[in-house]
Structure 1
Amino acid sequence: METINVCVIIGFVLGVYMFVRKLNEIWYLVKLGRKAYKSLPPGDMGWPLLGSSFSFYKAFTVGGDPDSFIYHLLTRNGRVGMYKSHLYGRPTIIVTDPEICRRIYLDDEIFKPNYPKSVKILEVNGLFSRIDHKSAYRIMVAPMNGYEVLSHYVDFIDQVMAKGLEEWSSMKEPIELLGEIGSLFFKVISRIFLGTDIGASRMAELETLYKDLGPAILSILPYDLPGLTFHRALKARKKIENILECVIEEKRRALEKEEREVESQMDKLIMARDEKWMKLYDNNAIIDLLLGLLHAGHHTPAYAAMWALVHISEKLHVFHKAKEEQESIIKQRPSTQKGLTFQEIKQMKYLMKFINELLRRNTIAVASFRKAKKDVNINDYTIPKGWNNYSPKPGTFLPFGIGTRFCPGSELTKLEITILLHHFILNYKMERVNPKCCITHLPAPKLVDNCLCTITKLP
């Protein structure tokens, strides 16, 4: 009798488990209708509300393997390139096929950016997604792409990187390389977009506040509750907003009175006018543009640069070949020349190949999100209107995206990493404190200890 009772209990528990496990699937089956649901790609809608978030976080956080998340989809459903799921509280189509990813990136008519709540912390008023993106993009991209434009920043970046490495090598204690690189890159991006007249104390405060903002991106718990990372990030964002508001007002007054010339990209946004000579961007729009751009301009590139120093230090055959190239370039330099030139950087063919391979192997942005504006059929599968497209691993070389949302700072990022590597390869070596340190992949792939290391200057 007891055996029968145990079997009944086990059967009941399994039945409840299976029913609850299918609730998400049942919900969308009813919501979409049987015919529409059957046209979805294969996959698993996961648990009610949570979806597949737990397995996603397990794969992408400390000790996890992001490839295992994709491999599970492939082995369970076949190589169809698209899979239904439920992530960040939303029904989601996960795309792993590079051609489908490319199509989605390029189709602004059907797919629009629609990031999770934790990513939207980089918007104050949500205006960035509503203003004329193309005109704003032109203003943003202008100072960061093109040989002629970038050549103007070589001297400044060269000084920043050389000084940074010199300071790191003088430290008596190990440094967290990721944060230190982020500080160097913040100096560069803030110089380009804010100018040189906002004051050292304000610049330092902004950098500190952005350190609280970054960890909240793709946060597991995007709630405004005391003690949570997201709560700290919201407070930091508010302070950043206030600082930028003050800077904009000061600059606007000075520019309108012609007390100073247009220097930075913030100045250009302030002075931008339409054909009727009406200002294009108010303070809120400028803050929305700069809030995310200042973050992206130093935070994401710092991850790439950290991995660049890690890989170049660990792969000695690559290090020596890169060093030969750098020494060859230096030998051809006139004795009167001080510092790098853009022409010398263009000669660094091997180093650029290394950087491209670095970006291929270390996917810095783990996800790109789009929302379908209407039902769309791709490869005989339907992505319903309102569903998110999430591309965790495109499988091809698209490190900066593609289409109208192509990263405007792609060439600047490569330039910064190139100059940093130039000085490091010629004059320094790195030793990690924890060579077997674990990796986490949220919000981007990094060493858990932020690459705790010592930088030593070569004799």
Structure 2
Amino acid sequence: MEHDMGWFFTVLMVGIVALFGFLKKANEWFCVKKLDKNQCILPPGDLGWPFIGNMLSFVKSYKYGDPESFISSFTTRYGTGGMYKAFMYGKPSIIVTAPEACRQVLMDEEHFVLSFPSKSMTDLTAKRTFHGVKRQQHKLLRQITTGSIIGHEALSVYVDYIREIAIASFDKLASRKDPIELLTEMRKYASQVIMRALKARENLTKIFQAAIDERRIKNASDKSRTKRSILDLLMESKDEEGRKFSDEKIVNILILYSFGGQISTAPTATWALLYLQEHPELLQKAKEEQEDIVKRRPSSQTALTLNEIRQMKYLSKVINETLRLVNASSPLFREATTAVKMNGYTIPQGWKVLVWTRNVHMDPNNYPNPKEFNPSRWDDHETKPGQYLPFGAGRRFCPGADLARLEISVLLHYFLLNYRLERLNSESKVQYFPTIRHTADCLARIRKLSAENA
């Protein structure tokens, strides 16, 4: 009897394994049946089971384990080529992990268009960013770079009210006797900055309008100018009906771009505080830099300025390192508009392309000891193309990146000078799906330093 039961379970297990193997083969056949096998050479990989694909292992590694284990499962089986086929979010996909390939996908908007995995995510994103503008305007915004959008004057407008919000927020938190949930409070801080920025819209409108007027005069007097900024392109462009954009519409587009980096502010600020709290020697180094900036301040100056923020070399490295480790935007979603040859493989038309920026940032070949929080790695680190992508790349490089960094810099400046953080549940584990956060609330207290210690 025992022999019969053992034989039964053996047959059952073999049958289950065979069934799973058959389902995986069936899913791959369904995904590639329309492709010309002679012309289309797919990267190595695993398309998983029907409907589910590779999502179970992805969610498991990101939510309950080591997020790097998901990609390492591909590299262990298929090598370190940097491109793998998979079935993600219900679609056949190509995962891209090599820096150069990631950069190529992000820079090539003719063949790789923004494409979220679901309509609900698309709708949600469209409401929060410039992805929701009309087709012709969106096409225009995709075709122009954004480096010149947030200039010195525009950022200077933000500094004063970001400072007020940061100080008020920390004072309020320091006065509370009950523990705070750090990420929640940082989100409130970012939200207050957005609301204050909207109230300051009139000032921004005046600044951008003055820039438009000045540019119009320059263009009229100097016909030989060949270098064009985003402002020139917006002023020259037309809407779907062939009409040039009005000044009001141009200003609205510029302001819309200005708020583009908000989604990364709260988690980056939270983790910067946590990393510094975990490394007292690094916190002290960052604090000394801020104290030195205050000491060199003229007696007539009483508040932080944009020029001082640009002198924060070490704090900038702290933010760089935090963005590298946190990397909130992973993966970045694209879709191939046509079959594309890359690194000897074919990315089929209509397939999703997942730019796995986390793997780029956590690859020891790009960053030695990648899990270590080490701002000093940026002292002499020469970042090669595609190796650092916290805000994306190409024409979809996050337009609010400078504003996000500004918010974090102001917040850290006043924290380092006047406050300290006490973690109450440092044993809480970290999960990375759907976003990076602790499995339990990150409970803490903010303490205000005495005058002699500040």
- The two structures have a TM-score, normalised by structure 1, of 0.76
2-structure distance, mates of 1:26, 1:87? 16
For residue 457 of structure 1, what is the aligned residue in structure 2? 448
Measured against aligned partners, the alpha-carbon deviations of 1:79-133 in whole angstroms (never above 9, x if no partner) come to 1110000000011100110000011111111110101114212225974473323
Where do 1:150-229 residues align within 5 Å? 150-192=155-197, 194-196=198-200
- Partner residue of 2:335? 371
Contact kept? 2:261, 2:399, Cα under 8 Å: no
Does the CA contact (< 8 Å) of 2:262 and 2:400 recur in 1? no
How far did residue 435 of structure 1 move?
0.3
Is 1:324 matched up with 2:291?
A: no
1:11–1:153: structure 2 CA closer, same or farther, 3 Å change rule? closer
CA contact (8 A) 2:154 2:204 kept: no
- Looking at structure 1, the residues matched to 48 and 61 of structure 2 have their Cα atoms a distance apart, in angstroms, of 15
In structure 2, the CA distance between the partners of 1:27 and 1:138, relative to structure 1 (3 Å rule), is: closer
Deviation at 1:167, TM superposition (A): 0.7
CA distance in 2, matches of 1:173, 1:363: 30
- 2:310 is aligned with 1:309: no
Residue in 1 that maps onto 2:135: 130
Q: Deviations over 1:46-67 (max 9, x none)?
A: 0101100111111111x32110
Contact 2:420 2:449 in 1 (8 A): yes
- Aligned CA-pair RMSD: 3.4
Asked if 1:447 is matched to 2:447, the reply is no
> For residues 12 and 331 of structure 1, do their structure 2 counterparts lie closer, same or farther at Cα, with a shift above 3 Å needed?
closer
* C-alpha deviation, 1:264, in angstroms: 9.4
Helix, strand or coil at the partner of 1:131? helix
1:323 aligned partner, one-letter code = K
Residue 46 of structure 1: aligned partner: 48
State whether residues 59 and 69 of structure 1, in contact with CA within 8 Å, keep that contact through their aligned partners in structure 2: yes
**C-alpha distance after superposition, 1:377-424 (max 9, x if no partner):** 111100000011102233421111111000001111111111111101
Q: Hey, what does 1:408 align to over in structure 2?
A: 399
Q: Find 1:425's aligned residue among 413, 416, 437.
A: 416
> Within 5 Å, which residues of 2 pair with 1:326-341?
326-341=290-305
The 3 A distance-change label for structure 1 pair 129 and 451 is farther
Q: Give the number of equivalent residue pairs.
A: 388
Alpha-carbon distance in 1 for matches of 2:49, 2:20 = 10
C-alpha contact 2:131 2:138 (8 A) present in aligned 1: no
In structure 1, give the amino acid aligned to 2:416: I
| AA aligned opposite 1:324 | E
Of the structure 1 ranges 403-412 and 120-129, higher mean CA displacement relative to structure 2 is found in 120-129
Q: Does the C-alpha gap of structure 1 residues 440 and 9 become closer, same or farther in structure 2, counting only changes over 3 Å? A: closer
Q: SS in structure 1 opposite 2:34?
A: helix
Distance 1:126 1:433, change over 3 A: same
Equivalent residue, structure 1, for 2:101:
100
- Superposed displacement of residue 176, structure 1: 1.2
Q: State the AA in 2 paired with 1:195.
A: K
- Structure 1 residue 26 and structure 2 residue 17: aligned? no
**What amino acid is the match of 1:428?**
Y
SS in 2 for 1:92: strand
Describe the shift of the 1:282–1:146 C-alpha distance in structure 2 as closer, same or farther (beyond 3 A). closer
SS of 1:408 mapped into structure 2 = coil
- The 3-state SS of whatever aligns with 2:42 is coil
Equivalent residue runs for 1:110-129 within 5 Å: 110-117=111-118, 118-120=120-122, 121-123=124-126, 127-128=132-133
State the distance in 2 between where 1:174 and 1:190 align: 26
User: Structure 2: which amino acid aligns with 1:108?
Assistant: E
What secondary structure does 1:333 align onto?
Answer: coil
Give the deviation of 1:136 after TM superposition.
Answer: 4.6
Q: What is the match of residue 86 of structure 1?
A: 87
Following superposition, the deviation at residue 363 of structure 1 comes to: 1.4
What do residues 413-448 of structure 1 show as CA deviations (whole Å, max 9, x unaligned)? 111111111101111110112101111212321223
- Distance, in Å, in 2 between the alignment partners of 1:59 and 1:443 is 12
Structure 1 residue 5: Cα displacement: 5.0
Q: Which moved more, 1:141-150 or 1:273-282?
A: 273-282
CA distance in 1, matches of 2:58, 2:208: 38
Q: Structure 1 residues 322 and 448, CA, compared in 2 at 3 Å: closer, same or farther?
A: same
User: 1:115 is aligned with what amino acid?
Assistant: F
Q: Which runs of 5+ in 1 are unaligned?
A: 198-250, 252-259
Share of identical aligned residues, percent? 39
Q: Structure 1 pair 431/355, CA: closer, same or farther in 2 (3 Å)?
A: same
CA distance in 2, matches of 1:147, 1:78: 46
One-letter amino acid of the structure 2 residue matched with residue 453 of structure 1:
A
Within 2, Cα distance between the matches of 1:34 and 1:277?
47
Question: Contact 2:261/2:401 (CA < 8 Å) preserved in 1?
Answer: no
Structure 2 distance, partners of 1:59, 1:7, is 30
Question: Distance between the aligned counterparts of 2:314 and 2:178, measured in 1?
Answer: 33
Amino acid at match of 1:373: T
Distance 1:324 1:129, change over 3 A: same
Structure 2 spans left out of the alignment, 5+ residues: 213-233, 362-386
Does the 8 A contact of 2:334 with 2:353 survive in 1? yes
Q: In the alignment, is the contact (CA less than 8 A) between 1:189 and 1:297 conserved in 2?
A: no
The alignment partner of 1:347 has SS state of: coil
- Quote the Cα distance in structure 2 between the aligned partners of 1:282 and 1:89: 41
Query: In structure 2, how many angstroms separate the alpha carbons of the residues matched to 1:168 and 1:139?
Result: 41
**In structure 1, distance between residues paired with 2:86 and 2:4:** 41
TM-score normalised by L of structure 2:
0.77
Distance 1:173 1:362 in 2: 27
Tell me the alpha carbon deviations over residues 193-243 of structure 1, each in whole angstroms, 9 at most, x when there is no partner. x3358xxxxxxxxxxxxxxxxxxxxxxxxxxxxxxxxxxxxxxxxxxxxxx
1:278-326 deviations in Å (ceiling 9; x for gaps): 667999xx89x96x986x5433211111011001111111111111111
